[in-house]
Amino acid sequence: MGTITGTTILNQAAQVLFDINGVEWNRLELLEWLSEGQRRIAFAAPAESRALIVFQMVAGPLQHLTTPTGVTPAYDFRQVLAGSCNMGTNGTTRGRALRKVSRKLLDDFNPNWMTTTPTVAVENFMWDKDLPTQFWVYPPSDGTGYIEMEAAVTPQDLATESATITLGDHWQPALVDYILARAGEKTTDYSPGMAFSKSHWEAFAATVEAFAGVRLAYDLDATPAQPRQEADA
């Protein structure tokens, strides 16, 4: 969670746009682009938007990331990041640590592991990147135990510009560049606007690559909200 407000970022973008009083550019539209920029960063770098969640397991070996009771709005989970520990039957008592293991290794070692007697506390979890929001636990859960997991989540939109950004403060320059790229994209019917948009998109993409190691390519046939993600060479 960052400490910088949307107002700070919007003011920086407005200064570059020579529109500090919001005459030409609607502040609500700039705020929408700020939220959009956070989502784009989280899409490229899931670990930059994470939540530590405690939830009750269902009975059996297969589990799904679940928004804890009382948390609103519900999380939009992207993927499992890490397992923490068992949390007893009340969700507040820390217990045995969870260890990530290979599903293939467990299948080879004990092909019948899914039929093992269910327990309150589990020892291992297995995650498949192709099924990012679900995972397996061993031994199977009896449905009474809680665990703590770390998950990547989609950032919530900023309701007002006075709200703080969801991502870390180090993403401030990238978010300013994203807003400017989107603003410039609305004026790409003439060359300076196109160049303005592309230059700020490239600055945004360079920051994403520097922090997350993911390269994003700007496609002039698409909006900056829908960039192509380049494969590593």
Q: Which residue has the higher pLDDT, 197 or 193?
A: 197
- Rounded Cα distance between 145 and 168, Å, is 32
E strand or H helix at 2: none
If you write DSSP's letter for every residue of 103-157 in order, what string do you get?
A: HHHHHHH-TTGGGSPPBSS--EEEE-TTSTTEEEEEEEE-S--EEEEEEEEPPPP
Average pLDDT over residues 108-124: 97
171: which DSSP letter? G
Render pLDDT for 195-225 as a digit per residue (tens, 0 to 9).
888 899 999 999 998 887 776 665 534 444 4
Give the chain's radius of gyration (CA, Å): 22
The model's pTM is: 0.83
Residue pair 105/80 in contact (Cβ under 8 Å)? The answer is no
Domain ranges of the chain: 6-46+157-229, 50-153
CA 200, 174, 67, 158 torsion: positive or negative?
A: negative
User: Residue 189: is its pLDDT beyond 70?
Assistant: no
98: which DSSP letter? P
